[in-house]
Amino acid sequence: MSETTPLDQAHAAMEAAPEDGAARMRFYERLADGELFLMLSAEPKGDDVSPEIFELEEGTFVLAFDRESRLADFAGRPAPYVGLSGRTLAGMLAAEGLGLGVNLEVAPSSILIPPSGVAWLAETTANIPSEVEAKIAEVNAPKGLPESLISALDTKLATAMGLARTAYLVGVTYETGGHGHMLAFVDAADWGRDALARATGEALTFSGIEAGALDVGFFTSDEPMAEALLRAGLRFDLPEAMQPEVSRIAPGSDPDKPPILR
């Protein structure tokens, strides 16, 4: 029996409820978060990759699959490929005006995403909320936030391995008199702050919450604010970093240095 992947499940939910915007957003979230295997016309040369190009009535497309075996089934022969995240691939393709065919002909999640859809996904996953700069007067328990946002944050932060120790969702009152909600990270790695802010922004977008409805803050465990967060906040424990293994870096594995399309 063939494997049913998370992308298959999200696609099935989207197809079963075409008017459900939340189901559609969850599919694109799974697509952005997951690893995709881009079909190439030749073996990668360093950071240069040459995807197999397909001219269709709907435009120019490249093909990617969420399993290596599915790529092999489609090609019917050994084919070169490169693995990279969906968000990285979307950014690369949007810059070239290309569309994306996902799991074509080999899985229930087979779908053609036109260049406009790829550009939307690239723009959505590139948004990074601004870090809080206003002074906080009061911290309290979060209220009135939808369960879809809590679930989205839990899913996102479960993948943020080694980027911070904990995160707290709290209600805040600023010294300016403004009110809102904040996701506060404690003991975040300096190099991981952009990734954490981006993950927060994606959780907002893909859960259907308006951008800007959640601030992002960074604190250390020895600050007085950390105690206030512990008392009032909804806590998320982030996974600890695994011991690194020495290996060759594959093209596309570094989001800050994606492969170059040729």
The CATH number for 217's domain is 3.30.429
Does residue 259 fall inside a structural domain? no
Q: Model confidence over 156-202: pLDDT tens digits?
A: 898 888 899 999 999 999 888 888 899 999 999 998 888 898 888 88
Same domain, 35 and 145: no
Residues 6+ positions from 31 with CB-CB distance below 8 Å: 7, 10, 86, 102, 121
Same domain, 10 and 105: yes
Beta strands in 5-113 (DSSP E): 35-39, 48-49, 54-56, 59-65, 81-85, 99-102, 111-113
0.95 exceeded by the pTM? no
Does residue 244 fall inside a structural domain? no
Q: Model confidence over 104-144: pLDDT tens digits?
A: 999 999 999 999 999 999 988 876 666 666 788 999 999 88
Q: Give which of 130, 127, 141 is closest to 217, Cα–Cα.
A: 130
Does residue 258 fall inside a structural domain? no
Q: Which domain holds residue 183?
A: 136-237
Same domain, 12 and 118: yes
Give the H/E segment covering residue 87. Answer: helix 86-96
* pLDDT category of residue 21 using cuts at 50, 70 and 90: confident
Does residue 113 fall inside a structural domain? yes
Q: Give which of 81, 83, 71 is closest to 35, Cα–Cα.
A: 83
Rg of the chain on CA atoms, in Å: 20
The structural domain count of the chain equals 2
b/e per residue, 187-200, with b = 16+ CB within 10 A? ebeeebbebbbbbb
Question: 2 versus 68: which is more confidently predicted?
Answer: 68
Instruction: Identify the burial level of 26 via C-beta atoms within 10 angstroms of its C-beta, where 0-12 means exposed, 13-18 middle and 19 or more buried.
Output: buried
Same domain, 84 and 155: no
Same domain, 144 and 211: yes
Same domain, 184 and 214: yes
Instruction: Quote the CA–CA distance of 182 and 171 in Å, as a whole number.
Output: 6
Does residue 159 fall inside a structural domain? yes
- Backbone region of residue 149 per phi and psi (left: phi > 0; alpha: psi in -120 to 50; beta: other values): alpha
Could you say which of 104, 126, 148 is where a domain stops? 126
114: which 2 tokens?
A: 């036109």
43: which 2 tokens?
A: 């073996």
pLDDT for 210: 54
pLDDT for 209: 63
pLDDT for 262: 62
Same domain, 110 and 218: no
